[in-house]
Structure 1
Amino acid sequence: MKLISWNVNGLRAIVQKDFLNQFKDLDADFFCLQEIKLQEGQIDLEFDGYTSYWNYADKKGYSGTAIYTKYDPTKVIYGIGIDEHDSEGRVITLEYDDYFIVTCYTPNSQSELKRIDYRLRWERDFQAYIRSLNSAKPVILCGDLNVAHKDIDLKNPDNNRSSAGFSDEERSQFTAFLQSGFIDTFRYFYPDQEEIYSWWNYRFGARKRNAGWRIDYFIVSKPLEDKLVDAKIHTNYTGSDHCPVELQIDL
């Protein structure tokens, strides 16, 4: 089974940049999108063989997530059940007989860590939500988690110690989450792979210089370890400031 996750940074915009062909070329069983930046009725985008699920932010042109899937879930959950977090359309959960699939667009702490207090509350509550799912059956979590975990996960770690997405607080929370029973699938397969990133700042020619960050993930519950096949980061796919990431798993 093949899963793709992609922060498209505006679905209507990326559709004008060959997204339809890219979607078909990637040919995933599950195609999870973050930062769709639209409201219900603003796009009519369906693909043969897929059912789609959408979670829109209350604020227009902001945040939002979607999942296209070839397999009908037994249940769909929008958000994590906490009003403070659920107005921004950041989470969709699909439940199946033997596992959950969750896509997430994690809030950014913003410049000078202006939103760090909220971000840390989000992490506490979101991780509690994932652990509650995991107590029932294994979880496959994907999305733009807005954190580069280790020095190897961004081009210039020394210059970004206090930057959003690489603060000590965000990284330590991510470490604790993994240690509670989850696997970062890309690092599982490629623990020492350098200079592979999933996001590049639009400014300063960052993508041409490959001055990027790895902040897009597939995270799985440890009981799924023996079912993992491969993980990929598709750096050649353009149209967004992020690129697609992939998980292959035998479910």
Structure 2
Amino acid sequence: MARTKIRGGKALKFISWNIDSLNAALTGNSARALLSQGVLNTIIEHNPEIIAIQETKLSSNGPTKKHVEILGELFPDYEVVWNSSVEPARKGYAGTMFLYKNHLTPSVTFPKNGAPGTMDAEGRMITLEFDHFYLTQVYTPNAGDGLKRLEDRQIWDIKYADYLASLDKEKPVIATGDFNVAHKEIDLAHPENNRRSAGFTDEERQGFTNLLAKGFTDTFRYIHGDVAGIYSWWAQRVKTSKINNSGWRIDYWLVSDRIADKVLKSEMIDSGSRQDHTPLLFEIDL
């Protein structure tokens, strides 16, 4: 697939969102599905060049004919690429998708990390290559209940950091997604209660520190400093988590250090009363 230059002199606007089931958001009629559809409408209003979506939970065949029709109605000016979980991994699990404006023609790859278990078969990464930068998204594996996947997660973190560093040797990198880790105590409401919770173990936090040390910037912290109380995820199983803002910041926009000064915005988009993840808005002038 040919690459293209993105129009010069124009700030680029991207949005990333862990949607927690694309099918539910597109075809559901439950109260939660309606909230998800409201968030999709908000994303449409922002009119970003590119949308990164995690946890699509699509079948191994990807979006159905119905899904494609609805996406075409909602996002008529966008191309769609997807990466779904395939055997031997669980069906209808994880998965990622990019929607990008159809004037763009990036090279698209679906990287594998050589990660343990079925992680490489779970549709967790997509990379778009443009003339002057890479845009890659990830849905990082969760360490799981009882931290049963923590050792595998640690290996994933090492391999993912090496992958981003390999891209960075060629051209600047913009990386986004659900990284499933709150990096510092300031990144979650109750650090004292979550020392050995998935997403806030010392091991996962160190993995993220090691990633940044390879030459990457957490753009939210770059723009906002040590502001507290701003999160990207609130647990669904706790009904009052969002009302009480008992959240975690586990979704990120990262960039190569050398383009951090080009970042204009890195912030959360208000998703109203919908719990779980909220979308992240990112703007950069390259």
SS of structure 2 residue aligned to 1:170: helix
Amino acid at match of 1:64: G
Partner of 1:52: 80
**Alpha-carbon distance in structure 2 between the residues aligned to 1:168 and 1:65:** 27
Unaligned runs of 5+ in 1: none
Deviation of the 1:235 alpha carbon: 3.3
Compute the TM-score of the two structures, normalised by the length of structure 1.
Answer: 0.95
Partner of 1:189: 223
Partner of 1:234: 269
Change (3 A) 1:239 1:207: closer
SS of structure 1 residue aligned to 2:24: helix
**Alpha-carbon distance in structure 2 between the residues aligned to 1:199 and 1:52:** 25
For each residue in 1:136-181, what CA deviation from the matched residue of structure 2 results, as whole angstroms up to 9, or x when unmatched?
Answer: 0010000000000001100000110111100001101111211221
Partner of 2:190: 156
SS of structure 1 residue aligned to 2:242: coil
SS of structure 2 residue aligned to 1:229: strand
**Alpha-carbon distance in structure 1 between the residues aligned to 2:164 and 2:214:** 11
Change (3 A) 1:92 1:80: same
Partner of 2:14: 3
**Alpha-carbon distance in structure 1 between the residues aligned to 2:212 and 2:231:** 20
Amino acid at match of 2:78: Y
For each residue in 1:199-224, what CA deviation from the matched residue of structure 2 results, as whole angstroms up to 9, or x when unmatched?
Answer: 01112221111100000000000111
SS of structure 2 residue aligned to 1:12: helix
Amino acid at match of 1:2: K
Counterpart contact for 1:198–1:243, Cα < 8 Å: yes
* Aligned positions, number: 251
**Alpha-carbon distance in structure 2 between the residues aligned to 1:110 and 1:154:** 18
What is the correspondence of 1:1-251 to structure 2 with a 5 Å cutoff?
A: 1-15=12-26, 16-17=33-34, 18=37, 19-39=39-59, 40-42=62-64, 43-44=67-68, 45-46=71-72, 47-58=75-86, 59-70=90-101, 71-82=103-114, 84=116, 85-204=119-238, 205-237=240-272, 239=274, 241-251=276-286
Change (3 A) 1:29 1:240: farther
**Alpha-carbon distance in structure 2 between the residues aligned to 1:73 and 1:237:** 34
Which protein shows a greater Rg? 2
Amino acid at match of 1:48: P
Moved >6 Å (runs of 4+)? none
Amino acid at match of 2:98: I
Deviation of the 1:182 alpha carbon: 0.6
Deviation of the 1:237 alpha carbon: 4.5
**Alpha-carbon distance in structure 1 between the residues aligned to 2:99 and 2:273:** 20
Counterpart contact for 2:242–2:273, Cα < 8 Å: no
SS of structure 1 residue aligned to 2:205: helix
Counterpart contact for 1:80–1:129, Cα < 8 Å: no
**Alpha-carbon distance in structure 1 between the residues aligned to 2:83 and 2:274:** 22
Q: CA RMSD in A?
A: 1.6
Deviation of the 1:13 alpha carbon: 1.2
236-245 vs 34-43, greater mean Cα deviation: 236-245
215-224 vs 235-244, greater mean Cα deviation: 235-244
For each residue in 1:42-83, what CA deviation from the matched residue of structure 2 results, as whole angstroms up to 9, or x when unmatched?
Answer: 322232211111001113221000011115344111132537
